[in-house]
Amino acid sequence: MFFKITKCMLFGTLLMLFGCEKSSTQVDVTQTEVELRALLNIPDHFAIPAIPEENMPTAAKIELGRHLFYDTRLSFNNTMSCESCHEQDKAFSDGVARPVGATGEQLVRNSQGLVNAMYHASFTWANNGFTHIEDQLEVPIRADNPVELGVTEVYADEVLARFDADPAYVQMFADAFPESETGASVNKIIFALASFVRTIVSGDSPFDRFLLGDDNALTDQQKQGFVLFNGEKFECFHCHTGTQLTTSYRDYNTDPANAQNQFFNTGLYNLSSEGDYPAEDQGLFDLTNNPADKGFFRPQSLRNVAVTAPYMHDGSIATLREVIAHYARGGRLIESGPYAGDGRLNPLKSDLVPGFNATDEEIDAVIAFLESLTDESVLTNPALSNPFE
Amino acid sequence: MKLIKIVSIGSISLLSSTQTLAHINTHAEVDDSIQVRGSMTFRTDSIVEQNEAWILPGFLMGGHALPSQDGFELDEVSVSGAKAFDKFRVQGQVSRHSGHEQIDIDHFFITVPFEHELQLQFGQMPGLSTPLMQWHASVGAVADMPLLTSVFFGGHTQDQGVRLMKHFDSNTTLGVEVWQGNDWPSTSDENPVSAFLKQSFTLSNISFDLGAWYMQSAATSRMDDRYGDDHHSTVTPVNAAYMFTGDVDTGGVYADATTVLFNHVLSFHGEYIMQEHDGVLSDTSESSSLNSQITGYLFELNLNNVMTFGYELLSVENTFGSSVSTTFLNNSGLYNQGFEPERFYVSWQKPVFEGLDYRITLIQETLEPEEDELRFNIGATWVFDVI
């Protein structure tokens, strides 16, 4: 560095006499970036997501993943596919508070929307160990308590045999994993599904057009809502920030050591003086056993949030208006029943949810802003739709 | 006696107390003295509107680089003094600047001379690498902070540190400094190190002062906090949440030449500075590697200590790492394609009576792409020796 500057200083003295070089801003775009943008359909105003080295996407993996996503043969009893809980027209959520799995057992959590999911720093509602989609996908496929697709050890061979017996799949597996000749495996299925999920990209909402400089893309009410959302009264932006509207954010450039593994207790419940949430789901605490993690969940990306109702980790809030009422109160009050308690007084609740007084007009504006995050194109994009239809 | 001689070698008082940058010297030169200085100016225009943040597109900015405002402004009032003791000398300066509510201790440092023309200084000190590090409204040719001072030093370089200087003869000085790092472009505890070499000589009837310097510093999670709590808190720049972490290296050369031509005193000051930021830029979610190379030039020509023509030019080359989003890039304020901020000025300064000067300046500048601004300052500067 020293020599570089010394050299420039000598040149500079000469340049004084001749005028100097022009200003410029450039991005060192690599070939990998160009290919990934094209393959995953990533718009320029988003960064490239973090992708594990061992599962770089290819067109063949994505194609295989898309078929598997919509194929009920991926459940032990041929009844469900990923789509059963992740429907395209609902931004890949399912519209119910808590879905049931292939055995009819109800899950404790709400199905997450999958649009731009790959930009989260961790996966599922509360798991600091799932840092890539690949880590998470073991769960819907293999879990036995509760069952989602139910491809447990007992059924794995049977399910894989279905794909090995179908010539179309044999070809797709061979194309997607050309270096392996052993047919279908749970690992290959996970890699292909993760590659497909990384193509569920939304970057063409009115909000995106606004980010790109089109001042008319948002209505005045939506702009007012955006200002409130980013203001110190509503304080939403502290946890829902950046292009993906969440602090749980990670992309290709994020130093994994700084990946913001963020979880918060927003005061949805308060069942004891320790700030308990319902015993069947205490969020991060269920993994860490650290009492300070009770009720800690990941802030969701709010992209397409208007079509992913009901809300929160257990689908316990039906509408966006009620979500805002919960924040405005500074925590939810449940007056009776097994979950009775005042979430506002939850001792583990984040300081960023202090409560605020908002007029109906202001709440309408914030809802209107949240609606501007809906990207119709991702809800209808044929490349993401059921290939069997 | 010897003490005074050593201390004043660093200063360059050639012909009289001219007001070009070449001769800025804001710390008291004379022992057992107290001096009061000030500057007040009426400006026809602001650099930016009252509720706007000043960002030169493409340039990382911060520190105390605040833009001047229209109307009347007391730019600066400062009191400086020096006292010699048996074995050492104490110098200090306090000042109040527009944009700051409080009174700042600019410097308070001790000079200890040793044998072999060696000199040790420590305390809160001004940087001596270039006169631009010690710019004050009362001593420059213009009441507005030079663009180079704003961008490279965030307004000034005055920090806690230690300096060792060696005077080889009365014409050559070598200095090495180690700082705390409180001042832009560094952040606290990064301990920037700087070194400078100055050489004066006379060739036929032209006296020259040449200087070359280099400063190595670093920053950790450095933010642009010009619009923080204590000043202008209603202003939130678009890049308020951006942080830089990495190395910052700055180097420069300058040349002064003074001569007498047909009974007119003519002096010239030329300066070139280059600064490289190399590290990572991040906001609340995204980040990217960033290499930012800033180049600046300044020229001043002064006639008879009355009239000054000046020109400043900045350019920048920013390189972001792969995969960055255009959203992150645009909001960083660092997008600049072909724009070079520049400022041209003509200043006229004359004494009303001993110690009080009036100063009139015409400034033409381009601080945003394709926006030429012509503005006008009229004001006064004063320097009084209390003792």
Residue-wise pLDDT tens digits, B2-29: 332 223 222 323 223 334 554 544 445 6
Q: In terms of DSSP bridges, do strands B71-84 and B89-97 run parallel, antiparallel, or are they unpaired?
A: antiparallel
The rounded distance, in Å, linking the Cα atoms of A294 and A115 is 27
Residues 6+ apart with CB under 8 A from A161: none
List residues in chain A touching B: CB distance below 8 A: 1-2, 4-6, 8-9, 12-13, 15-16, 20-30, 32-33, 44-48, 211-212, 241-244, 246-247, 249, 251-255, 258, 260
Give which of B250, B172, B252, B248 is closest to B212, Cα–Cα. Answer: B252
The residue among B312, B322, B334, B339 with the most chain A CBs within 10 A of its CB, best to mutate, is B322
For the whole model, what pTM was predicted?
Answer: 0.89
B2-385: what fold? Porin (2.40.160)
Using only C-alpha atoms, chain A has a radius of gyration, in whole angstroms, of 24
The rounded distance, in Å, linking the Cα atoms of B245 and B217 is 11
Residue-wise pLDDT tens digits, B35-78: 999 999 999 998 888 778 899 999 999 998 888 889 999 999 99
Q: Chain A partners of B313 at a C-beta cutoff of 8 Å?
A: 20
| Cβ of residue B315 closer than 8 Å to a chain A Cβ | yes
Contact call for B285 and A252, based on CB within 8 A = no
The rounded distance, in Å, linking the Cα atoms of B377 and A332 is 59
Q: How many pairs of residues across A and B have Cβ atoms under 8 Å apart?
A: 145
**SS3 sequence, A176-193?**
HCCCCCCCCCHHHHHHHH
The residue among A3, A33, A247, A253 with the most chain B CBs within 10 A of its CB, best to mutate, is A253
| Cβ of residue B240 closer than 8 Å to a chain A Cβ | no
The rounded distance, in Å, linking the Cα atoms of B178 and B191 is 6
Residue-wise pLDDT tens digits, A165-183: 999 999 999 999 999 888 9
Q: CA of A369 to nearest chain B CA: how many angstroms apart?
A: 18
The SS3 of residue B40 is strand
The SS3 of residue B37 is strand
Residues 6+ apart with CB under 8 A from A179: none
Average pLDDT, chain A: 92
Which residues of chain B are modeled with pLDDT < 70?
Answer: 1-30, 229-237
Which tokens hold the place of B297? 């030039």
**SS3 sequence, B125-156?**
EECCCCHHHHCCCCCCCCCCCCHHHHHHHCCC
Q: CA of B53 to nearest chain A CA: how many angstroms apart?
A: 18
Q: In this predicted structure, what is the pLDDT of residue A297?
A: 98
Q: CA of B372 to nearest chain A CA: how many angstroms apart?
A: 18
The rounded distance, in Å, linking the Cα atoms of A15 and B73 is 37
Contact call for A25 and B320, based on CB within 8 A = yes
Residue-wise pLDDT tens digits, A322-350: 999 999 999 999 999 999 999 999 999 99
Which one-letter amino acid corresponds to residue B20? Answer: T
What is the mean predicted confidence (pLDDT) over A362-368? 97
The rounded distance, in Å, linking the Cα atoms of A293 and A283 is 7
| Cβ of residue B327 closer than 8 Å to a chain A Cβ | yes
Q: In this predicted structure, what is the pLDDT of residue A21?
A: 62
Q: CA of B108 to nearest chain A CA: how many angstroms apart?
A: 31
Q: Chain B partners of A251 at a C-beta cutoff of 8 Å?
A: 286, 323
Q: In this predicted structure, what is the pLDDT of residue B170?
A: 80
Among the partner residues B253, B282, B336, nearest to A9 by beta-carbon distance: B253
DSSP symbols for B338-386: S---EEEEEEEEEEEETTEEEEEEEEEEEEETTEEEEEEEEEEEEEEE-
Check whether A247 has a pLDDT greater than 80: yes
Dihedral angle sign, alpha carbons of residues A297, A301, A306, A307: negative
Q: CA of A206 to nearest chain B CA: how many angstroms apart?
A: 15
Domains and CATH numbers, chain A: 39-201+377-384 (1.10.760.10)
Interhelix angle A59-69/A167-176, rounded to 10 degrees, is 140
Check whether A122 has a pLDDT greater than 90: yes
Contact call for A12 and B274, based on CB within 8 A = yes
The rounded distance, in Å, linking the Cα atoms of B143 and B11 is 22
Among the partner residues A1, A25, A47, nearest to B336 by beta-carbon distance: A25
Q: CA of B269 to nearest chain A CA: how many angstroms apart?
A: 12
Q: Chain A partners of B327 at a C-beta cutoff of 8 Å?
A: 45-46, 211, 243
CB atoms within 10 A of CB A52: 13
Q: In this predicted structure, what is the pLDDT of residue B234?
A: 61
Give which of A213, A239, A210 is closest to A226, Cα–Cα. Answer: A210
Residue-wise pLDDT tens digits, A267-297: 999 999 999 999 999 999 999 999 999 999 9
Taking CA A300 as the corner, what is the angle to CA A299 and CA A306, rounded to the nearest 5 degrees? 135
Residues 6+ apart with CB under 8 A from B370: none
Check whether A74 has a pLDDT greater than 80: yes
Contact call for B320 and A247, based on CB within 8 A = no
Omega before A140 within 30 of 0, i.e. cis: no
Give which of B132, B82, B84 is closest to B107, Cα–Cα. Answer: B82
What is the mean predicted confidence (pLDDT) over A82-109? 96
DSSP class of residue A40 equals H
The SS3 of residue A364 is helix
More confident residue, A243 or B9: A243
CB contact at 8 A, B25 and B136 = no
Q: In terms of DSSP bridges, do strands B307-320 and A24-27 run parallel, antiparallel, or are they unpaired?
A: parallel
